[in-house]
Amino acid sequence: MFKTVVCDICNIEYPIFQGGMAWVSDASLASAVSNAGGLGIIAAGNAPPDYVKGEIRKAKKHTDKPFGLNELLMSPYVDEVAEAASDANIEIVITGAGSPAKYMPLWQEKGIKVNPVVASTAMAKIA
């Protein structure tokens, strides 16, 4: 049951989400995981927007499978990276370190799924 639901929602073969590890989860790792049937994740961390856009372009060259972006909401580049995810029509955005409420309309307009990582029950109820 779990496999079917996760796989259907994210268009992946296996219910495996690769972690978004800053400066480790780049386009090569994300595209390899996606090509293997899981969901590869590019970590934006505190990276500048040009770096993130470049990694998204590289991943799209190396896979035609869905992949996501892990966005750190405390990044000084959060607005530009949120826009880059929207422009690239990323399959899913995983957020951390804050509330994604400001960016939800932008991503939902494009049909991008959002998976907020939360630190408390209160934030989970808000999300």
- pTM of the model as a whole: 0.84
- Judge: domain 17-126, CATH 3.20.20.70: yes
| pLDDT band at residue 112 under the 50/70/90 scheme | confident
Measured CA to CA, the distance from residue 82 to residue 120 in angstroms comes to 23
pLDDT at 106: 87
Strongest mean pLDDT among 7-11, 20-24, 52-56: 52-56
pLDDT average, residue stretch 5-27:
76
pLDDT at 11 over 90: no
**pLDDT over threshold 80, residue 7:** no
Domain boundaries, the chain: 17-126
